[in-house]
């Protein structure tokens, strides 16, 4: 196993920016495969912060003696399939080379961070960092800080930085509709109760659309009275986690009128919390409805804008001209800063693949093959790329990741066992199965409002060439349907694959 970082933990190793924490309930996020692990680990918070999660993942690595199989500080730059040997040749950044029969990718959906394409980035003489590459604990005490970006990462960062910065300026291009997280500590007794419920918790996560603990309410928005609707939304807003997004009325992410109602409800909440009405209006999304982009969960984000030392700058009105040696110049003003934080997101889903020169049969590049959008079978296999298996690749369902990826990891393991058991040396998706799955993935998104919105979930990264056009990047049929399809492939003896 190759890992670029100097430690294990993936997302939770890299993203150590201030305020980084789960938006999934901790006790739904841990691994479920080991009863011993479940018995031993006590979550401290319902939504664990990055340090706790990184500790957990290190604990897992130690407990299962995984470190001996992990090569840290090892970036794979190329992976080329060799037909003669039916193997993959890997080249590392430092020139090391490896040969492997099977290539399993687990390079992450949100791991290829992107700096903004703004002139002068790199000329700033103060401290600057992308949230994904957060260096060490950084002090904001008394400093003039800028944050660019207001996605889920920006929202967490801004809330935390505002606590100690001398002055904070937030450069916002698109506001997001956030909802309260309602984090809390977990006491000893509560942890025991949670542990006792583990089987039910994991079973419930398997039943829901996105593997979260929150299941869609079977009622449609218009099936209840206005009073019932508002009472339900008040309840969801007062409850922890993604209930407001994942446990809302059915159809809210499809039905324009229903989406407008919940968007208006949450806009009212923002207006109640932000004292300056002009600022509140700036924080309310106007070009997309609630839940059509990934909903950031927040802990006091809106109140930050009531602080006299926090200034929002709407860069859709006054765009950033350039980063200067002393700060940021917009079309109407020049700002000076000690520290600039780039919370500018990722080249999501296919970005980590694109950064490796992956070549399949006949030297075909995966990046080229996916130029107009990914084509996969089950989000796990790609025709023309034999013996490559993707864990949480494009066209897999997104959601509560560990719950989803445990299934995929087991499915991949099952296929490897099957291949070993029959001395197969070549496993590949057929072109027909990849076309059929890709069509199904596209169909599964039809009618969903998120497909009409620019975001990483629709393959948009304005900071990356060739990623300005919306594409269907993930499976939207829900995890139960995904598992059913994968199980059917297994039950049928993998006849939809080419096995040799």
Which residues of this chain interact with ligand NAP, rule CB under 6 A?
A: 21-23, 110, 116-118, 148-154, 156, 173-174, 294, 315, 343-346, 456, 462-463
**Cα–Cα nearest to 309, from 171, 170, 168:** 168
**Cα–Cα nearest to 498, from 424, 420, 406:** 424
Q: Which residues contact 194 (CB under 8 A, 6 or more apart)?
A: 27, 43, 186, 201
For ligand NAP, give the closer residue by CB, 294 or 467. Answer: 294
For ligand NAP, give the closer residue by CB, 121 or 442. Answer: 121
Give the shortest CB-116-to-ligand NAP separation in angstroms.
3
For ligand NAP, give the closer residue by CB, 289 or 345. Answer: 345
Side by side, which strands form the sheet with 339-342? 127-130, 339-342, 144-148, 167-172, 310-314
CB atoms within 10 A of CB 495: 10
Give the shortest CB-110-to-ligand NAP separation in angstroms.
4
- Torsion angle in degrees (nearest 10) through CA of 17, 19, 24, 28: 80
Give the shortest CB-218-to-ligand NAP separation in angstroms.
26
Q: Report the residue count for the chain.
A: 500
For ligand NAP, give the closer residue by CB, 16 or 167. Answer: 16
Please give the Cα distance from 121 to 151 (Å, whole number).
20
The distance in angstroms from the start CA to the end CA of the chain is 25
What is Dmax (Cα atoms) for the chain? 69
Indicate if the alpha-carbon torsion angle 7, 11, 17, 19 is positive or negative. negative
For ligand NAP, give the closer residue by CB, 375 or 458. Answer: 458
For ligand NAP, give the closer residue by CB, 88 or 450. Answer: 450
Give the shortest CB-207-to-ligand NAP separation in angstroms.
21
Strands (E), 110-150: 127-130, 144-148
Give the shortest CB-47-to-ligand NAP separation in angstroms.
8
**Tell me, what DSSP letter sits at residue 305?**
T
Give the shortest CB-61-to-ligand NAP separation in angstroms.
21
Give the shortest CB-499-to-ligand NAP separation in angstroms.
35
For ligand NAP, give the closer residue by CB, 120 or 414. Answer: 120
Report which residue's Cβ sits closest to ligand NAP: 151
For ligand NAP, give the closer residue by CB, 150 or 375. Answer: 150
Give the shortest CB-484-to-ligand NAP separation in angstroms.
25
Q: Annotate 207-217 with b (16+ C-beta within 10 A) or e (fewer).
A: ebbbbbbbebb
């Amino acid at each position: 196993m190759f890992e670029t970082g100097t430690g294990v933990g993936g997302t939770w190793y890299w993203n150590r920016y201030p305020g980084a924490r789960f938006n999934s309930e901790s006790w739904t996020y841990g691994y479920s495969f080991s009863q011993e692990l479940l018995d031993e680990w006590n979550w401290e918070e319902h939504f664990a912060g990055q340090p706790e999660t990184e500790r957990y993942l290190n604990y897992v690595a130690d407990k299962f003696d995984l470190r001996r199989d992990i090569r840290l500080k090892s970036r794979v730059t190329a992976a080329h399939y060799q037909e003669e040997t039916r193997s993959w040749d890997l080249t590392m950044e430092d020139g090391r080379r490896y040969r492997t029969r099977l290539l399993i990718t687990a390079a992450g959906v949100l791991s290829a961070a992107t700096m903004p394409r703004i002139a002068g980035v790199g000329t700033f003489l103060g401290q600057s960092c992308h949230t994904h590459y957060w260096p060490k604990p950084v002090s904001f005490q008394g400093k003039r800080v800028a944050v660019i970006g207001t996605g889920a990462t920006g929202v967490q960062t801004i809330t935390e930085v505002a606590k100690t910065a001398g002055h904070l300026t937030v450069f916002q291009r698109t506001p997001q509709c956030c909802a309260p997280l309602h984090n809390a500590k977990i006491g000893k007794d509560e942890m025991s109760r949670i542990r006792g419920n583990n089987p039910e918790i994991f079973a419930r996560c398997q039943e829901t659309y996105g593997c979260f603990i929150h299941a869609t309410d079977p009622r449609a928005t218009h099936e209840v009275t206005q009073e019932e609707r508002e009472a339900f939304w008040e309840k969801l807003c007062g409850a922890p986690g993604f209930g407001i997004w994942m446990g809302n009325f059915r159809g809210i992410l499809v039905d324009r009128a229903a989406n407008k109602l919940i968007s208006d409800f949450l806009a009212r909440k923002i207006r109640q919390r932000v004292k300056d009405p002009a600022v509140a209006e700036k924080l309310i999304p106007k070009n997309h409805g609630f839940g059509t982009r990934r909903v950031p969960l927040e802990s006091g984000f809106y109140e930050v804008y009531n602080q006299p030392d926090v200034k929002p700058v709407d860069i859709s009105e006054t765009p950033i001209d350039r980063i200067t040696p002393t700060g940021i110049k917009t079309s109407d003003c020049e700002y000076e800063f000690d520290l600039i934080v780039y919370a500018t997101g990722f080249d999501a889903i296919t970005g980590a693949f694109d950064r490796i020169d992956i070549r399949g049969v006949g030297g075909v590049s995966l990046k080229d093959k996916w130029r107009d959008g990914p084509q996969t079978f089950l989000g796990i296999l790609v025709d023309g790329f034999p013996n490559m298996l993707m864990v949480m690749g494009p066209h897999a369902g997104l959601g509560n990741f560990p719950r989803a990826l445990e299934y995929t990891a087991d499915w991949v393991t099952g296929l490897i066992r099957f291949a070993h058991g029959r001395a197969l040396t070549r496993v590949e998706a057929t072109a027909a199965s990849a076309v059929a799955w890709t069509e199904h993935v596209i169909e599964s998104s039809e009618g969903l409002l998120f497909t009409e919105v620019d975001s990483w979930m629709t393959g948009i990264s304005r900071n990356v060439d060739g990623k300005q056009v919306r594409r269907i990047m993930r499976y939207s049929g829900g995890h139960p349907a995904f598992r059913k399809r994968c199980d059917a492939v297994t039950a049928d003896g993998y006849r939809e694959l080419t096995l040799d």
